[in-house]
Amino acid sequence: MKKNRTAMLLAMALGSTALVVGSVLPAANAASGQNAKAVGPAPKIAGTKIGGTLNYTGKSDYAHLDPQRCYSTGCGNFGRLLWRTLTGYQNVNGKLTLVGDLASDVGVASNGSKTWTFKLRPNIKWEDGTTTTCAELEYGIKRSFDGTDATSPLLTGGISYASVFIENKNGYKGPYETPDKTLSGVSCGKSGSVETITFNLTQASGDFNQQTTMGAYAAVKPSKDTKASYDNQVFSNGPYKIETRVYKDKTIVVRNTYWDAKTDPIRVAAPDKIDLLFGQDSVNTNNLYIENTGRAVNGFANGPLAQNTSLIYDSELDALQPIFEKRGFYGPSIVTDWLAINVEKVTDINLRKAIQCAFNKESARATLGGKSLGDYTNSLTPTMLGGYSKYTVCTDNPKGDVAAAKAYMAKVKTNKEITFVYSNATKDSENMALSLQSSLTKAGIKVKIKPIDSTTYYDILEQQGPDAPDLMLYGWAYDWPNASTVYPPLFDSSLVGASLVGENKSRVKDKKLDAMMKAASAESNPTKQAALWAGVDKYITNTIAAVVPFYQGKTLYWNGSNVGGIYFSPMASMDWANLYLKDPKK
């Protein structure tokens, strides 16, 4: 997920994993398991009670609820209450297991992981009582092609994995523009009395059955498809259906009475109703949860982290710790941030290594919010993913190593001035830039800091040409718990175009790296794949020194005293599927 400010809020809005205060510790490689025969009902947490109204209070609404347009972790995790995807993650105490959702298995790969076949689970009902069919799943998947390939797309905003991975020989451009064409890479069939769906892919993908947990692989009933308006009128085959939806204001979902828990190994769906209120002031919301009163008693909300509100000082965070321990959780998120070095402009690897050594992370983090911002890291892989390992990039000292930086600078042939760009949206960004300039200057690196208008900041980051920035702060959150959604979207050579570079902010065009990522993506054995991603990580940070890893963000939620089932999910969010009210009548 690209981490602009909005995406960041959305990512943090229903944010992430690892160290849990008053909750459960997920495993390091949280998504390594899979169960091809999982059936409903989903495992319940001890003490789960059915009924009542659960509240959520937030600042920002989900940009999209249409499954094919949803790309943030927030909408993905809430959206799963309304739509079921081909596969999904069963979450037991923070440990994820890949299971079938619309599918009854987790798929069978063939043809070197270029062909995947899934059996579909029978008797999954829409909110009108009709059964979800393979044709409706195929229709849903085809809608992704409108957002990426249509001449005048209506369904903008979704992820493009489906249109990139699924073979499209006929120039298919979505069900609206090319209703008479077929999408060659998807076909429905039958195995006995069971429906099956088969995908032919453009490239080998060892974790394609994890990709199918995304909203792009949700069914949509064609007769209920209201196109761009579907965002606010999602027709449900999940445990809840929309009762009220006013964008940026409120969303109320109530039970889909046709949903059968026996068909669903993922969602417990304990509350009868969920009431989401958006556009609320962060300070008032924080006070509400500190006091545990009003709608906070039966609810949960984001806590006061630097990413969610304005700066929060370490002392304030410490003062609130007793409340987090009683009612909430606090730990690392799925977001990592780093300094991207433009390798096309900063061509001398010694200069890049000098930047890695000289950067004072401690000083820079203090300007952006201190420890509530996140924990220092030397890896781009979040700690909860397979492939994460603790290793050193120049130094483990967060203050940096000026002597080592100077040693690299001694080898630099031309000490050219580098430009660090930052958004002028907040004073914090300017302070961070000044901190960076100060720390790099101590090692003899010439740094110019350049403020960019916040409205054009992200446009500037990806532009090519002489004005392209040399150094910039950037961040990323994975889409599903696999590093295949971290490295290829960020470092694939094909992203670097003549005028734009997409998410490849370091402008890396490295054939060896491409081959390493391709091999890792194709590997279907999770342990081997994790080892390959670890190699990719170290190649980017240490071998070509294209980035300076900075920190892994934090997630904080607090909940009311009547809410149970609060623990992290490595799906980057509060797991709505397991929440319940301790006293549903309250």
Partner 1 sequence: MLKYFSRRLISALLLLFFVIFVTFTLFMAVPADPARLSCGKTCSEETRMRIRHAMEIDLPIQEQYLRFVKGIFVGRTYNKESVEPRKCDAPCLGFSFRSDEDVTQTLLRRAPVTFSLALGASIIWLFGGVLLGMASALRRGKFIDKAVQSFALFFSSLQIYLIGWVVSLYLVIKHHILPTPTYVSPFDSVTAWASGMLLPWLTLAFISMAGYARLTRAGMIETLSEDFIRTARSNGLTKTRVQFRHGLRAAITPIVTIFGLDLGGLLGGAVITESTFGLKGIGTLSLEAVYELDLPLIIGTVIFGAFFIIMANLIVDMLYAALDPKVRISK
CA angle 486, 488, 491 (to 5 degrees): 95
Chain position carrying tokens 């002392």: 315
Judged by beta carbon, residue 28 or residue 154, the one nearer partner 1 is: 154
Judged by beta carbon, residue 228 or residue 410, the one nearer partner 1 is: 228
Judged by beta carbon, residue 2 or residue 80, the one nearer partner 1 is: 2
CB of 246 to partner 1, least distance (A): 8
CA angle 80, 90, 578 (to 5 degrees): 65
Judged by beta carbon, residue 122 or residue 279, the one nearer partner 1 is: 279
Please name the residues in contact with 347: beta carbons below 8 A apart, sequence gap of 6 or more.
Answer: none
Among the listed residues 271, 230, 231, the one whose alpha carbon sits nearest the alpha carbon of residue 253: 271
CA distance 532 to 517: 8
Judged by beta carbon, residue 26 or residue 153, the one nearer partner 1 is: 153
At residue 541, the 3 state secondary structure works out as helix
CB of 4 to partner 1, least distance (A): 8
CB of 271 to partner 1, least distance (A): 21
CB of 173 to partner 1, least distance (A): 10
Judged by beta carbon, residue 34 or residue 73, the one nearer partner 1 is: 73
Burial class, 179, CB count within 10 angstroms (exposed 0-12 / middle 13-18 / buried 19+): exposed
CB of 496 to partner 1, least distance (A): 11
DSSP state of 577: G
CA distance 207 to 526: 8
At residue 296, the 3 state secondary structure works out as helix
CB of 73 to partner 1, least distance (A): 12
With contact defined as beta carbons under 8 Å apart, do 276 and 13 qualify?
Answer: no
CA distance 570 to 89: 10
CB of 520 to partner 1, least distance (A): 17
530, containing H or E segment: helix 526-538
CA distance 83 to 80: 5
**Residue 57: what are its φ and ψ, rounded to 5°?**
-120, 125
CB of 59 to partner 1, least distance (A): 9
Judged by beta carbon, residue 132 or residue 429, the one nearer partner 1 is: 429
List, in sequence order, every beta strand (DSSP E) within 261-366: 273-277, 299-302, 328-341
Judged by beta carbon, residue 26 or residue 158, the one nearer partner 1 is: 158
CB of 287 to partner 1, least distance (A): 5
Judged by beta carbon, residue 36 or residue 425, the one nearer partner 1 is: 425
CB of 22 to partner 1, least distance (A): 23
Judged by beta carbon, residue 227 or residue 255, the one nearer partner 1 is: 227
CB of 492 to partner 1, least distance (A): 9
Judged by beta carbon, residue 284 or residue 438, the one nearer partner 1 is: 284
Judged by beta carbon, residue 147 or residue 475, the one nearer partner 1 is: 147
Please name the residues in contact with 432: beta carbons below 8 A apart, sequence gap of 6 or more.
Answer: 364, 367, 368, 422, 473
CB of 147 to partner 1, least distance (A): 6
Q: Point out which residues bind partner 1 (CB under 8 A).
A: 1-2, 4-6, 63, 69, 71, 147-154, 156-161, 164, 176-177, 227-229, 231, 246-249, 277, 279-281, 283-284, 287-288, 291, 293-295, 453, 455-456, 458-459, 479, 489, 495, 497, 499-500, 502-503
CB of 248 to partner 1, least distance (A): 6
Please name the residues in contact with 420: beta carbons below 8 A apart, sequence gap of 6 or more.
Answer: 433, 436, 437, 447, 448, 449, 450, 469, 470, 471, 472
Judged by beta carbon, residue 216 or residue 545, the one nearer partner 1 is: 216
CB of 231 to partner 1, least distance (A): 7
CA distance 21 to 438: 36
Q: Quick count: other Cβ atoms within 10 Å of Cβ 322?
A: 9
Computed from CA positions of residues 241, 246, 248, 251, in that sequence, does the dihedral angle turn out positive or negative? negative
Dihedral (Cα; 79, 81, 87, 90), 10-degree rounding: 120
With contact defined as beta carbons under 8 Å apart, do 384 and 18 qualify?
Answer: yes
Judged by beta carbon, residue 110 or residue 455, the one nearer partner 1 is: 455
DSSP for 2-46? Answer: B--HHHHHHHHHT---S--TTS-PPPSSTT-EEETT--SSPPPPT
How is the beta sheet containing 186-191 ordered, strand by strand?
A: 108-110, 115-119, 194-200, 186-191
Judged by beta carbon, residue 170 or residue 284, the one nearer partner 1 is: 284
CB of 407 to partner 1, least distance (A): 38
CA distance 32 to 335: 20
Number of alpha carbons in the 13 Å side-chain half-sphere of residue 141: 31
